[in-house]
Amino acid sequence: MGATIAQIFSGNPQNNVYGVVTGSVTCVAFPSESALLLRFKADPDNIGTFKLGAVGTGDCLWPLDAGEETGWFAPPAIEGNLAGLHSYKHQNLSGTSDYLHYWIQR
């Protein structure tokens, strides 16, 4: 995992929030972070597929294989709460050996 955030994402501006989560066999919500824009990227060294889903839906269906990324998108507000990273959940059947990076612009 030794890559810097600048190596993971291209064109990273200052004063944003970056983070990483490890895989989970069940769908798990992301940390509570407000965001205007979000971007996800599966670590290039992953062996499994991360799946993303929206909180309030049943499954995680949006797949990201090793090295794939989403590009920028605006998260929705859910049930009157501010839009943010917490609007999404993740799953990886490979377990904790894989990583998913996130980049938040506020």
pLDDT, tens digit (0-9, with 9 covering 90-100), for 24-72: 888 899 998 888 889 999 999 999 999 999 887 778 889 999 999 999 9
Residue 77 falls inside a structural domain: yes
* In-domain check, residue 43: yes
Split into its structural domains, the chain has a count of: 1
Residue 36's domain spans which residues? Answer: 21-105
Q: Cβ contacts of residue 66 below 8 Å, gap of 6+?
A: 42, 43, 44, 45, 46, 47
The predicted-structure confidence for 63-84, as pLDDT tens digits, reads as follows 999 999 999 998 877 666 678 8
pTM, two decimals, is 0.80
- Report if residue 80 sits inside a domain: yes
Contact 42, 1 (CB under 8 A): no
Residue 83 maps to a domain: yes
> What does the H/E/C string look like for 22-65?
ECCCCCEECCCCECCEEEEEECCCCCCCEEEEECCCCCCCEEEC
pLDDT at 14 over 90: no
- On whether residue 15 sits in a domain, the answer given is no
Kindly state whether residue 62 falls inside one of the protein's structural domains.
Answer: yes
* Residue 40 is assigned to a structural domain of this protein: yes
CB proximity list for 58: less than 8 A, separation 6 or greater: none
User: Does 4 reside within a domain?
Assistant: no
Question: Confidence band (pLDDT; 50, 70, 90) for 94?
Answer: confident
pLDDT at 99: 94
